[in-house]
Amino acid sequence: MTTTNDATIDKVVVITGASAGIGAELARQLAAKGAKVVLAARRKAELDEVAADLGKDALAVVTDVTKRSDVEDLCKAALARFGRIDVWVNNAGHGISRAVAELTDDDMNAMWRDNMMSVLYGIQAVLPHFKSRNQGQIVNVSSGLSRAPLAPARAAYGAVKSAMNLLSASLRVELRATHPGIHVTVVLPGVVATDFGRNALGGGVDNRNLPGAQPVEAAVEAIVSVIESPALEAYTSPFIAEIVARYQRDPAAFEAELASRQRV
């Protein structure tokens, strides 16, 4: 999925997890198309560096998305600076490398806090503004792992992302009846060449060293595309879409194949 290079995006976009990886690249691509971007992350130095490269229409707001008050302050800061929000991208998240049999309460609590509560806080912070205008878009960055058990060590992460998918779909149903101008989009990346694997709880393989890792620029083009033309959901690459489709067609055969690879 690609975007039109000369298309202009006249929107105010809030992006969480914007100090590196997908979030930072999304800010760059949107700013290059004329969008005003509000960047949120915990790491001030890195966040300020990304914002500085984007010019006067970029606002950096140090935010811990696991704290409701921080997310509410992020929304207020965006509105104070730009007067409106058009798109809110819940991108911040955290992975894990742990077999199901070894998962602890702390592991699961961290996955739920980082990958679900942070999304809920973002939705609830911006929704009153969107409802007042009957306009806006919430983009929730999920994972192909929410649709198929492609990496058992990421089970807790995929499980929470799966719950987030349903939360997003349920929100769409709620809004369709009362505020049809508000869009809710789920984006499903596969393996993207970022620090995600290295930063996972319990450590992990660097995503950039995995076969078939998608360049972050290409993955972000898919997100830009659904901001330009809202859709219910989008995979960032045809490859991950086909892998998920294969699993859904014959889960038993697909799981047997994955298990055989683990035994090698």
Please give the structure tokens belonging to residue 8.
Answer: 């202009």
Residue pointed to by tokens 């008050």: 69
Sheet of 12-16, strands arranged across: 58-62, 36-41, 12-16, 87-90, 136-141, 182-188, 233-235
Please state, in angstroms and as integers, the Cα–Cα distance from residue 127 to each residue in 69, 91, 130, 171, following that order. 15, 17, 5, 11
Beta-bridge mates of residue 235: 188
Q: How many whole angstroms separate alpha carbon 179 and alpha carbon 72?
A: 21
* CA gap 182, 176 in Å, rounded: 8
The residues that are catalytic are 157
Beta strands per DSSP E along the chain: 12-16, 36-41, 58-62, 87-90, 136-141, 182-188, 233-235
- C-alpha distances out from residue 114 to 1, 31, 95, 175, Å: 28, 26, 9, 25
